[in-house]
Structure 1
Amino acid sequence: MTRGMNRRGFLAVAGATAAGAALATTVQGTARAAAGAFRVPAEDVRHTRTWMAWPDSTAIWAGKLGGVQADIALIARTIATYEPVVMCANSGSAATARSMCGPSVTVLSSIPVDDCWMRDTGPVFRTDGYGGLDAVGLNFNGWGNKQTHARDALVAERIAAWTGVPFGYADLVGEGGAVEQDGAGTLMATRSSLVNRNRNPGMSESQITTAMCDAYGASKVIWFDGVVGQDITDDHVDATSRFLAPGEALVQMPLATDTDAFSRDARRQYGVLSASTTATGRAIDAMQLQGPDYNKIRSTNRNFLASYANYYLCNGAVISAHFGDTQADAAARATLARLYPDRVIEQLNIDRLGTGGGGIHCVTQQQPVA
Structure 2
Amino acid sequence: MSDRTSRTPSPSGPNRRRFLAAAGLTAAGAALAAVQSSAGAAPGRRSAAGAFRVPAEDVRHTRTWMAWPDSTAIWNRGTLAGIQADIALIARTIARHEPVVMCANSASAAKARSLCGTSVTVITSIPVDDCWMRDSGPVFRTDGAGGLDAVGLNFNGWGGKQAHGKDARVAERVAAYTGVPFRHADFVGEGGAIEQDGAGTLMATRSSLLNRNRNPGMPESELTAGMCDAYGASKVIWFDGVRGQDITDDHVDATSRFLAPGEALVQMPLPTDDDAYAEDARQQHRILTGSTTAQGGPMEVTRLQGPDYERIRSGHPDFLASYANYYLCNDAVICAHFSDSRADAAAKTLLARLYPGRVVEQLNIDRLGTGGGGIHCVTQQQPVP
Q: TM-score, normalised by structure 1?
A: 0.97
Distance 1:2 1:188 in 2: 22
CA contact (8 A) 1:53 1:113 kept: yes
Letter of the structure 2 residue corresponding to residue 275 of structure 1: G
1:12 equivalent among 18, 21, 29:
18
> Which residue matches 1:358?
373
> Which residue matches 2:56?
42
Distance 2:147 2:203 in 1: 25
Q: How does 1:67-216 map to 2 (within 5 A)?
A: 67-216=82-231
Q: CA deviation at 1:21?
A: 4.6
Structure 2 unmatched ranges of 5 or more: none
2:68 equivalent among 54, 60, 83:
54
Q: CA deviation at 1:314?
A: 0.2
> Which residue matches 1:33?
47
Distance 2:271 2:55 in 1: 35
Q: CA deviation at 1:36?
A: 2.3
* Alignment: residue pair count: 370
Q: CA deviation at 1:184?
A: 0.1
Distance 2:315 2:162 in 1: 24
CA contact (8 A) 1:29 1:170 kept: no
> Does residue 244 in structure 1 map to residue 248 in structure 2?
no
> Which residue matches 2:344?
329
Bigger shift: residues 9-18 or 24-33 = 24-33
Report the secondary structure of 2:222's partner residue: helix
CA contact (8 A) 1:31 1:136 kept: no
Distance 2:308 2:162 in 1: 30
> Which residue matches 2:7?
3
Report the secondary structure of 2:107's partner residue: coil
Letter of the structure 1 residue corresponding to residue 59 of structure 2: V
User: Given the superposition, is the C-alpha separation of residues 336 and 29 from structure 1 closer, same or farther in structure 2, using an over 3 Å criterion?
Assistant: farther
Query: What do residues 8-55 of structure 1 show as CA deviations (whole Å, max 9, x unaligned)?
Result: 964332432222754671852866613422000000000000000000
Query: What do residues 77-122 of structure 1 show as CA deviations (whole Å, max 9, x unaligned)?
Result: 0000000000000000000000000000000111000000000000
Q: CA deviation at 1:202?
A: 1.2
CA contact (8 A) 1:31 1:215 kept: no
Distance 1:228 1:155 in 2: 26
> Does residue 286 in structure 1 map to residue 301 in structure 2?
yes
CA contact (8 A) 1:249 1:284 kept: yes
Query: What do residues 327-369 of structure 1 show as CA deviations (whole Å, max 9, x unaligned)?
Result: 1000000010110111000000000000111000000000000
Identity, % of aligned pairs?
74
> Which residue matches 1:225?
240
CA contact (8 A) 1:53 1:117 kept: yes
Distance 2:230 2:123 in 1: 27
Q: TM-score, normalised by structure 2?
A: 0.93
Distance 1:253 1:9 in 2: 25
Report the secondary structure of 2:106's partner residue: coil
Q: CA deviation at 1:5?
A: 4.1
Q: CA RMSD in A?
A: 1.7
Distance 1:9 1:227 in 2: 19
Distance 1:332 1:41 in 2: 25
Distance 2:109 2:43 in 1: 35
Letter of the structure 1 residue corresponding to residue 135 of structure 2: D
Distance 1:159 1:280 in 2: 33
Distance 2:43 2:8 in 1: 38
